[in-house]
Structure 1
Amino acid sequence: MTEHEIQILVKKQRHFFYSGVTLDVNYRIHALKKLKACIQKQETAIIHALKQDLGKSRFEGYMCEVGLVLSEIDYMLKHIRSYAKEKTVHTPLAQFHSRSYKKPSPYGVVLVMSPWNYPFLLTIDPLVDAIAAGNTVILKPSAYSPNTGKIMEEIIQKCFQEKYVALVTGGRAENTCLLEQHFDYIFFTGSQNVGREVMKSASRHLTPVTLELGGKSPCIVEKSANLKLAAKRIVFGKFLNCGQTCVAPDYIYCDASIQDALVAEIKKQILLQFTDHPLSNEAYGKMINEKHFSRISGLIQPEKVVHGGNSEKDLLKIEPTLMNHVTFEDPVMQEEIFGPVLPVLTYDSLDSAIAKINSMAHPLALYLFTSDRQLAKKVTSQCSFGGGCINDTIIHLATSEMGFGGFGESGMGSYHGKDGFQTFSHYKSIVDKKTWIDLPMRYQPYQKIHEKFLRMFLR
């Protein structure tokens, strides 16, 4: 799409938004139902596209993408009327007689920029929230997942007129052109480096943004943890989507006294979940492209590998790889891994582990395995992170009942469920003052008797 075409598209959507059509909740509900029906009809094609782009199995494609999107749509359809209502709030006596209320209103024309690792989920999920809030939307999926991008484009074209919802394909040129336009809200999921550019571009128009980024999410394993269960759940969370998950456990940070036992359990779990030939396992995914394959391969230090480490460049596959005796100075700890490599580091005291985590960039997620509830409370209170789990990984994002997002280096803002509706809404604060009475105390000339009443009303 050319720059001129993008400019026209934005103008079309702004004109359509100001027509007021999307302010009707029934219109939004109809749009969500239509989207749901189309997704259900195209489920097989979506899952096939995910297989082509990322090697995802049918089970994983539904569990981690299609199913979660359908769940979000159902949640919004159930709650949208409640969320869209004006909310009356308390009015101070000094404003007698009036009604004060907060009115949820859509921002207007929204840009949603999504990544390649969960291309369907991370494009359509924020779309659902933006539609529910009453916005028009332009979607820009990643060019690295072209097959999923193509099926999403077909779905959007079948469901919506482009003046309401449109999808722009392409790469860096289209991204740059879109970011030069004046949007009313920008929602971006991706890397920190690109997130900075998005925020910089948005600042030209003072456009509010949500940034869903990433970071090195720690997985603390405390000495009282159930190591067998911890290993099982860590392996699931780390190697899901071949490690290409923004909230995957980036590294294990365990008590030194349980290091050997934990490593032994993780080895067992990798074999149980992925067999001893993971590169030929049809249910095990692949790297998105050769560039990403080479980057991940470069992070593997053969002398520290205790399991896995093999790869197949032609298939873009890297085995689930476990590295032991890793330090914070090693190359694998200098960036977010975003691949199937799991380093193990140790601490001597939990206090020192908390201090170390807090000295680093705020992670998007934190995971803690422990049987000690007081220690769990201590870690979740003292560590700074976006969200996480106690005695599990990943699953905190798989619900519409809680917002998902980071802060600081891992992002800003959140979405899913009510948080998603609020993200794409501006809440107007309004006082509806009655005309049958008009208290004189606020008008000049001020009098002592008025000051007496004023002090009484404002306390």
Structure 2
Amino acid sequence: MKDDQIKSLMNDQDKFLKTEKSKSISQRIETLEKLKASIKSHEQDIVDALYKDFQKPEFEVLTTELYVAYKELNLFIKKIKKWSKPKSISSAWLNFPSSDKIYYVPWGKILVIAPWNYPFQLAITPVIGAIACGNTVVLKPSEHAPYTADILEKIISEVFEDSQAIVIQGAVETAQILLDQKWDYVFFTGSVPVGKIVSQQIAKHMTPHTLELGGKNPCIVDASANLDSAAKRICWGKFLNAGQTCIAPDYLLIHSDIREKFQQKLVETLKDFYGDSSKASSDYARLIHASHFERLDGFLNDQKVIYGGISNAETNFISPTLVDSPDFDSPLMKEEIFGPILPLYSFTNFKDLEVTINSFDKPLSLYVFSENSSFTNQVNESFDFGGGVINDTIVHFVNDKLPFGGVGASGVGNYHGRASFDTFTRQKPIVHRKNWLDIPLKYPPYKRLDSFKSFLNLFR
């Protein structure tokens, strides 16, 4: 779609994205069922598209893309009617007699900007929540995953009328034009630097928003940890999707007493996962594009590689790589890695952890492997992060009963399950006063000052 067409479309309020508030809950559920059926009919197309975009293994597509989407759909189909009911609230004394309620209403027109790393799931999941809550949606998928973007556009056009949901494809310029428009809500998933730009652009309209970003997620391995389990779960969480996961461990902090032993277990685990040559493994994805490959490949310059470090520019391939204690001022540690490179550091006491973790902005996630509950409690109480896991990595993402989101530089707001409902609706409070009693105390002329002072004493 051309830039002038986007502007024309956005300005044509009679045809484009009228609010769907009038749609009943049953109609929304029918739409969600239709969306579910469309995704199911295009499952193989989705698998094929993600392989074409960056050789994502089919198993990872099924588990990290489709499973998450189906789970969110099923939850909203089951719960949206219950969640949407007005909530009765006890009324204030001064309003007696009255009945008070909170109504959950859609924001209206929502812009969803999706990233490339999980290009189907991270696009469709917020759309599901927004539509279920009665909003209309413009989805801008990532131009870096063009095959998946085409499938998303095909599914959305099959299920929705243009007045309810539409996909607009394009690059940075298209995103900027969309962000220049006035929205009722903006939902953005992407990097911290781009998130800051998005926040600045929508600030001129004071648009409410959710920013799902990232950060340098620490992973702590205590001396008491189950090392076999920790090695498997860390390697899985880090090298899934070739490390292109916002909640993946960004660096390891390993207790010095077990450093050498655990390092060897990591190497053994990576060989078990991907063989002696991960390039030949059908279970290992590629990097999304050449510029991302060049960025990560450059990170390895002058680093002490413990394992891996093999790269191929023709296929955007970098093998699972372990790096020994890179300098905090190196490019590798200056920003979120977002790839299959894992720095390893040692620590001897809790002060070491504080110095390292507090050297970076508040992370999206934090992981700690330990059998010592006092230690895990100390970690949880000492550091601020979006969400975390004890004795595993990234699994908090799949529990739709947990809100998902960041804090500080790692994000604003959250979603998933009920949290998505809270994000894509706003609370509208209504007080319904009765007429059978009207206490004159509050009306001028104020002749009952002493009476109100006595009343006020109840609150003093």
TM range (shorter): over 0.9
Q: Deviations over 1:268-298 (max 9, x none)?
A: 0000011111001112100101111111111
Query: Separation in 1 of the partners of 2:28 and 2:306?
Result: 53
Q: Secondary structure, in 3 states, of the residue corresponding to 1:91?
A: coil
Query: Separation in 1 of the partners of 2:284 and 2:220?
Result: 26
Aligned to 1:379: 379
1:262 Cα offset (Å): 1.1
Query: Which residues in structure 2 correspond to 1:26-105 (within 5 Å)?
Result: 26-105=26-105
Query: Separation in 2 of the partners of 1:303 and 1:110?
Result: 44
Query: Separation in 2 of the partners of 1:130 and 1:456?
Result: 46
Structure 1 stretch displaced more, 4-13 or 312-321: 4-13
Aligned to 1:125: 125
Q: Secondary structure, in 3 states, of the residue corresponding to 2:257?
A: helix
Query: Separation in 1 of the partners of 2:457 and 2:103?
Result: 30
Does structure 1 residue 346 correspond to structure 2 residue 346? yes
> In 1, are the aligned partners of 2:18 and 2:164 still within 8 Å (CA)?
no
Q: Deviations over 1:146-186 (max 9, x none)?
A: 00000110001100111100000111121111011001000
Query: Separation in 2 of the partners of 1:456 and 1:436?
Result: 27
Q: Deviations over 1:78-132 (max 9, x none)?
A: 1101111111112122211101121111110000001000000110000011111
Query: Separation in 1 of the partners of 2:426 and 2:14?
Result: 17
Number of equivalenced pairs: 459
Normalised by the length of structure 2, the TM-score is 0.96
Q: Deviations over 1:57-94 (max 9, x none)?
A: 11110100011100000011111011111111121222
> In 1, are the aligned partners of 2:365 and 2:385 still within 8 Å (CA)?
yes
Of all paired residues, the percent bearing the same amino acid is: 40
> In 2, are the aligned partners of 1:22 and 1:135 still within 8 Å (CA)?
no
Aligned letter for 2:225?
A
Structure 1 stretch displaced more, 442-451 or 431-440: 442-451
Aligned to 1:299: 299
Query: Separation in 1 of the partners of 2:82 and 2:14?
Result: 26
Question: Which structure shows the bigger proportion of residues in helix conformation?
Answer: 1
Query: Which residues in structure 2 correspond to 1:99-118 (within 5 Å)?
Result: 99-118=99-118
> In 2, are the aligned partners of 1:13 and 1:164 still within 8 Å (CA)?
no
Aligned letter for 1:137?
V
Query: Separation in 1 of the partners of 2:301 and 2:247?
Result: 23
Query: Separation in 1 of the partners of 2:354 and 2:23?
Result: 47
1:368 Cα offset (Å): 0.4
Aligned letter for 1:210?
T
1:326 Cα offset (Å): 2.9
Q: Deviations over 1:222-267 (max 9, x none)?
A: 1111111111100000000000000010000111221111100000
> In 1, are the aligned partners of 2:19 and 2:136 still within 8 Å (CA)?
no
Stretches of structure 1 lacking an aligned partner (at least 5 in a row): none
Aligned letter for 2:376?
A
> In 2, are the aligned partners of 1:217 and 1:251 still within 8 Å (CA)?
yes
Aligned to 1:266: 266
Query: Which residues in structure 2 correspond to 1:134-283 (within 5 Å)?
Result: 134-283=134-283
> In 1, are the aligned partners of 2:385 and 2:406 still within 8 Å (CA)?
yes
Query: Separation in 2 of the partners of 1:13 and 1:183?
Result: 12
Q: Secondary structure, in 3 states, of the residue corresponding to 1:257?
A: coil
> In 2, are the aligned partners of 1:244 and 1:340 still within 8 Å (CA)?
yes
1:388 Cα offset (Å): 1.4
Normalised by the length of structure 1, the TM-score is 0.96
> In 1, are the aligned partners of 2:18 and 2:136 still within 8 Å (CA)?
no
Stretches of structure 2 lacking an aligned partner (at least 5 in a row): none
Alignment RMSD, CA only? 1.7
1:351 Cα offset (Å): 3.0
> In 2, are the aligned partners of 1:98 and 1:431 still within 8 Å (CA)?
yes
> In 1, are the aligned partners of 2:101 and 2:429 still within 8 Å (CA)?
yes
1:19 Cα offset (Å): 5.8
Query: Separation in 2 of the partners of 1:12 and 1:32?
Result: 27
Q: Secondary structure, in 3 states, of the residue corresponding to 1:156?
A: helix
Query: Separation in 2 of the partners of 1:454 and 1:119?
Result: 59
Q: Deviations over 1:356-381 (max 9, x none)?
A: 31342011110000010111111111
> In 1, are the aligned partners of 2:21 and 2:135 still within 8 Å (CA)?
no
Aligned letter for 1:279?
K
Query: Separation in 1 of the partners of 2:228 and 2:14?
Result: 55
Q: Deviations over 1:189-224 (max 9, x none)?
A: 001111111111111111111100111101011111
Runs of 4+ in 1 over 4 A off after TM superposition: 11-23, 456-459
1:457 Cα offset (Å): 6.9
Aligned letter for 1:440?
P
